[in-house]
Amino acid sequence: MFTKYKNNWLKFNLNRRCVLCSQQAISQTRICDDCLTDLPWIGNACQRCANPLSSAQLPHLICPQCQKKPPPFEQVIAPFEYRFPIDQLIQLAKFNHRPHLLNPLAELLSLQLQNTPLPELVIPVPLHPKRLQERQYNQAALLAKRIARNLDIPFSNRLLIKTDNTPHQAELDRKARRKNLRNSFQCCGSPPSSIAIVDDVMTTGTTAAEISRELKAAGCHRVYIWVIARTAKELHLY
């Protein structure tokens, strides 16, 4: 019995290939050790918004923008900068009908979250029903569900809904992003005291801030933002 189990385990794991280089990758992340090392990991970052900081800046720092105007969320966790190859994996998963590429990214984010404060509920950034019908799946929901399962936290995709089918944020500058999303989310129940919002990428933080304000207005006390990647400030649209 043990020999059969061992053989099945070896067959399953030895057939795993790295999603980046196609070499053997035994780890649960489906990314080999060499590729893991080369990923654009965030080093120094703002402890509030996770904006990548230069190596010359001190660690455990709150960036000037968060000091001047603290965001409505407690903390952003993002393991990667939005650069190659993370940006390519996310784009392929999001727009090229390859959602399986989200699995290794969810595993890596789950590992990053093991030593952080955990909330009572995990929710995704919702899509408007029309956008969901076009794309056929919500990449944030796929990430959130897997992360919630990994961390043994309840998951919900019904607490928060997108009420307006707003234009893509990527097409807008910072000021237009705020106006675009204003009052476009609705909390449909009584939220717990702490919630984590999951998304693939955070750029200016406009979406995270708008959702955080909506959840806190409904009674939530602490909102955490969990994303795969963070766009460096110099790449933000102003």
Of 157, 158, 129, which Cα lies nearest the Cα of 141? 157
Q: Is the pLDDT of residue 182 over 80?
A: no
Query: For the segment 66-103, what is each residue's pLDDT rounded down to a tens digit?
Result: 999 999 999 999 999 999 999 999 999 999 999 999 99
Higher pLDDT, 156 or 54: 156
- The CB density around residue 227, as the number of other CB atoms within 10 Å, is 26
Q: Which helix (H) or strand (E) holds 87?
A: helix 86-95
Q: What is the pLDDT of residue 2?
A: 41
For residue 127, give the 3-state DSSP assignment.
Answer: coil
Of 143, 140, 123, which Cα lies nearest the Cα of 131? 140
The pLDDT confidence band at residue 12, using thresholds 50, 70 and 90, is very low
Q: Which one is the CATH code of 40-235: 3.40.50, 3.40.1000, 3.30.70, 2.60.40?
A: 3.40.50
Q: Looking at this protein, which amino acid is placed at residue 204?
A: T
The pLDDT confidence band at residue 14, using thresholds 50, 70 and 90, is very low
Q: What is the pLDDT of residue 187?
A: 96
For residue 198, give the 3-state DSSP assignment.
Answer: strand
Higher pLDDT, 235 or 121: 121
Q: C-alpha distances in angstroms, 200 versus 80, 99, 227?
A: 11, 12, 5
Which whole number is the average pLDDT over 138-156? 97
Q: Is the pLDDT of residue 52 over 70?
A: yes
Query: For the segment 209-218, what is each residue's pLDDT rounded down to a tens digit?
Result: 999 999 999 9
Of 34, 37, 60, 62, which Cα lies nearest the Cα of 48? 62
The pLDDT confidence band at residue 11, using thresholds 50, 70 and 90, is very low
Q: Is the pLDDT of residue 15 over 80?
A: no
**pLDDT > 70: percent of the chain:** 82
Q: What is the pLDDT of residue 9?
A: 38
Q: What is the pLDDT of residue 17?
A: 86
In contact, 122 and 148? CB cutoff 8 Å: yes
Q: What is the pLDDT of residue 177?
A: 57
The pLDDT confidence band at residue 43, using thresholds 50, 70 and 90, is confident
Q: Looking at this protein, which amino acid is placed at residue 113?
A: L
Query: For the segment 161-177, what is each residue's pLDDT rounded down to a tens digit?
Result: 999 876 665 555 555 65
Q: Which helix (H) or strand (E) holds 10?
A: helix 2-14
pTM: 0.87
For the chain, domain boundaries: 1-38, 40-235
Q: Is the pLDDT of residue 6 over 80?
A: no
